[in-house]
Chains A and B, each alone.
Chain A
């Protein structure tokens, strides 16, 4: 009341709040100035490429740009009735132009994604397009009967959409038809959902395995005298200084049919020489190698949290009559939960996007979703689908992160 009437003034007569704002503004500008170089670097080299790439998952203007006439004609078509002569003539004009501009290959590739086998249809027809005369419908059908089939035109209509949910739907094993209806792909072609589920399964198993293997080690590290624990910590960190590829390939040497593990199993009579375990180039190999590689990411946050738990808590619990187990479970464990939270989140998020290790040791059924993204980026060159799968993966991770925040609480997380 008196404050609002007579605001407190600074020594030079300006209101104190304003003065404080000015003083803080300067320091804020300074702080911002310090992070500008890094911020610019991150935006240019990281955020912009990611956004541009992900954008391709829902945006594909190739057909619309290269075949403007037929795009216009296709947009008027309902996708069910017989294609009109207008559409055929627009197509021929576009084909002639595309051949002249040498862009017909791109167009053919684009449509081929919607209906396989149409690539040669486009390229061969484009070669002869300049010689065709009206009526174009009959002329085109004469060149190739496929032009008379409605599926060809439906594929072109889908391809002509600039903003398309088609890739996202494909990432989830659905297909988009020309009239806008969404149908599930036939069972033998649903590969993405299976891969997403397998990726989640492998990530969960690896995370749980890391937790069970890492917790006792972290506990040991934190309770040993400093000299001993430092030596052990170096052993934990040693893998970090070795190349990921080297570690993965050494697992191949360990686990392959004629490898160290199988030799040992045979030597101890656990299995016969002609009946060796297949430990690699399958899911087992992926699980073993990933657990080993990601284990330090579980141990380190656990260790740093456990290190900060004074031994007096457990001692206090025991002095009050708690057995070793009760003291651990009721007093020590709850205080190590922030470390578990951090380790689990770290390992899970690293695991869900893991690529090199499954690619090398995964074989057929040890592949993960990032391997299929890689396939579309480098082999099939369908970047749009790769971007769409990446987008789905990102959404899944964000959703899991949200669930994690609701259950565990993101502030209940400590890295050190």
Chain B
């Protein structure tokens, strides 16, 4: 469990300018608050376990995790389609547990867009304005503005079925934005797009967020999407936030073995702690060799630990200041800009090395035994 405090992020400034009505600082930093929220569907297992989360106004927060980790449930509770079994959810300081979804004023983009097939694009966009009883001219103006925002002007008369996946995605986005909600929820909105379009849309959503200063809660299971777009990422597993931090912290300073494994590629080495020396621990592997590592989330002397090392932080050859060992090359994959070696290191046959394809780089053959090394601070001792 990670206690979360609001972090001020650049880019929130614009949102601050936009919303002068709420001058209270806590209102800004505590726009969305989950307080000890639990959720169970069957009364036997908890899908969300004691969730505490605080979001600032204008923040782009991603809920990242494998399927079944509780991230979508959290989003649905925030939107009002699921009720929390225990705990409170606050929106702009107001508890919203008993407010029906249609009164929450939260925009939402659904996984399969949920564009109404029996309405044209224009009717889809003006729907949220109609139910708010806006006048015709005002509706038309706002629809046009929203379409302009996603560069889809001129598509008003089309039906959703006549649009490509990417165009439908834009319309869904415009529809969530058209009534100018302060908070937008996105439930894996890019899941149905092909890779190229997905990457393009990631940047468009990111830019829209920056331009409009809206607050976004984004759910995805795609870690690269989360890293690209988010101000902060909450990594979910088993109904619990494993770590909540900004993308580079998450990648470079994972706080437990799950996060280290889930975000990016990771090498794991299991061992026992021999001695603890300030921030550095000595770890003995099962084959008797030793390594120094950064103590992050491990027990005391004699307890088991998992060492986590990123593949690109392992170097070929020996270095006086680093931990050194030998590994047998099992497989090599040529990937253009870099070469990926799979090695057997301290009994782990899935230890990966990633070497940039620079001129004159060392060449290894399968079966060869190579010297490798890593710095102690790149090697994090985490929970077993």
Contacts and interface: CB of A to CB of B under 8 A. Distances in A.
Contacts of B176: 319-320
Contacts of A315: 79, 81, 101, 108, 110, 114
A335 B118 contact: yes
Contact of A322 (B79, B110, B127): B127
A185 B103 CA distance: 67
Contact of B102 (A310, A322, A334): A322
Interface in A319-341: 319-324, 326-327, 330-331, 334-335
B112 interface: yes
Interface string A286-325: 0000000000000000000000001011011111111110
A321 B179 contact: yes
B37 interface: no
B106 interface: yes
B175 A320 contact: yes
A319 B108 contact: yes
B114 A320 contact: no
B105 interface: yes
A312 B127 contact: no
Interface string A217-240: 000000000000000000000000
B157 interface: no
A45 to B, nearest CB: 42
A316 B110 contact: yes
B114 A310 contact: yes
B258 interface: no
B107 A319 contact: yes
Interface string B89-106: 000000000001111111
B117 interface: yes
Contact of A318 (B102, B112, B179, B185): B102
Nearest to A331: B116
Contacts of B11: none
Contacts of B110: 312, 315-316
Contacts of B132: 321
A334 B116 CA distance: 10
B111 interface: yes
Interface residues of B, number: 27
A338 to B, nearest CB: 10
B127 A310 contact: no
A121 to B, nearest CB: 69
B60 to A, nearest CB: 19
Interface string A331-372: 100110000000000000000000000000000000000000
Contacts of A310: 112, 114
Nearest to B101: A318
Given A319-B79, A319-B101, A319-B107, A313 B116 contact: yes
Contacts of B128: 320-322
Given A312-B110, A315-B81, A320 B179 contact: yes
Nearest to A332: B116
A366 to B, nearest CB: 40
B25 interface: no
Interface centre among A319, A326, A334 (most CB of B within 10 A): A319
Contacts of B335: none
Nearest to A315: B81
Contacts of A317: 116, 127
Contacts of B80: 318-319
Contact of B118 (A321, A322, A327, A334): A334
Contacts of A321: 102-103, 105, 128, 131-132, 179
A326 B129 CA distance: 13
The B interface, classified by DSSP as helix, strand, loop or mixed, is loop
Contact of B131 (A313, A320, A334, A335): A320
A406 to B, nearest CB: 20
Given A320-B131, A321-B131, A326-B131, A313 B114 contact: yes
A322 B179 CA distance: 12
A320 B185 CA distance: 12
A312 B116 contact: no
B112 A312 contact: yes
Interface centre among A316, A322, A326 (most CB of B within 10 A): A316
A322 B104 CA distance: 11
Interface string B114-137: 101110000000011001100000
Contacts of B112: 310, 312
A378 to B, nearest CB: 49
Contacts of A318: 80-81, 100-102
A317 B176 CA distance: 10
B131 A322 contact: yes
A87 B103 CA distance: 92
A140 to B, nearest CB: 76
Interface centre among B79, B102, B106, B185 (most CB of A within 10 A): B102
A319 B107 CA distance: 6
Contacts of A312: 110-112, 114
A307 to B, nearest CB: 16
Nearest to A312: B114
Contacts of B114: 310, 312-313, 315-316
Interface in B167-181: 175-176, 179
Interface in A10-34: none
A265 B107 CA distance: 53
Contacts of B101: 315, 318-319
A334 B79 CA distance: 24
Nearest to A323: B102
Contacts of A326: 131
Interface string A56-74: 0000000000000000000
Contacts of A319: 79-80, 101-102, 104, 106-108, 176, 185
B248 to A, nearest CB: 33
Nearest to A334: B118
A293 B118 CA distance: 33
Contacts of A334: 118
Contacts of B127: 317, 320, 322, 330
Contacts of B175: 316, 320
Given A312-B114, A323-B131, A335-B117, 20 more contacts: A312-B112, A313-B114, A315-B79, A315-B81, A315-B101, A315-B108, A318-B101, A318-B102, A319-B80, A319-B102, A319-B104, A319-B107, A319-B108, A320-B102, A320-B175, A320-B176, A321-B128, A322-B128, A322-B131, A326-B131
Q: Which 8 A-B pairs have the closest CB atoms?
A: A320-B128, A316-B114, A319-B108, A312-B114, A318-B101, A334-B118, A312-B110, A322-B131
Interface of A: 310, 312-313, 315-324, 326-327, 330-331, 334-335
19 contacts: A310-B114, A312-B112, A312-B114, A313-B116, A315-B79, A315-B81, A316-B110, A317-B116, A318-B102, A319-B102, A319-B107, A319-B185, A320-B127, A320-B131, A320-B176, A321-B128, A321-B131, A321-B179, A323-B131
